[in-house]
Amino acid sequence: MKVERKANHAALARLSRQMANASGEAEFRKIFLAMANREEAIDNVEKATERLEAADIDDKAIVKRRRFLPDGTIEITELQGNKVISRYKKRPPMHFVPDFSRPLKANGKPQMKSVPRLNLLDLLS
């Protein structure tokens, strides 16, 4: 619910206070002070409404977070507010290298192990 008034409420409240100070009778002073308080209340309601609408827009936005795991995998999480919409992982390409920590095969060749091959340019996209 938004108040559809285009008036500058702070200026109207200031003017009402000035008129209350300038008026000599107590009845007029009460009327002008009530007008000033009402304008400030309307201004506060409009500001609160704008803050709530901005927070609502922030909650509806989808945020992507990237996390790099120790094995070279990139985990991408899509969040909307505090809820996870989707999560997927992009594993790096693997290639085989000799594993010198294991004993040699019977034919004298080293055993192989697969390790991630990281391309720095892939991390930029």
- Residue 82 CA to residue 55 CA, distance in Å, equals 13
* Alpha helices in the chain, H assignment, sequence order: 9-22, 26-60, 120-124
Per-residue pLDDT tens digits for 8-21:
666 667 777 776 66
CA–CA separation, 97 vs 110, rounded Å? 9
pLDDT band at 32 (very low <50, low <70, confident <90, very high): low
For 51-65, write each residue's pLDDT tens digit.
888 777 767 778 889
Cβ-contact 113, 96 below 8 angstroms: yes
pTM recorded for the entire structure = 0.40
Q: In terms of pLDDT, which residue wins out, 69 or 11?
A: 69
CB within 8 Å of 67: residues ≥ 6 apart: 74, 75, 76, 77
Indicate if the pLDDT at residue 125 is higher than 70: no
Q: What is the DSSP letter of 102?
A: S
**Confidence at residue 122, expressed as pLDDT on a 0 to 100 scale:** 62
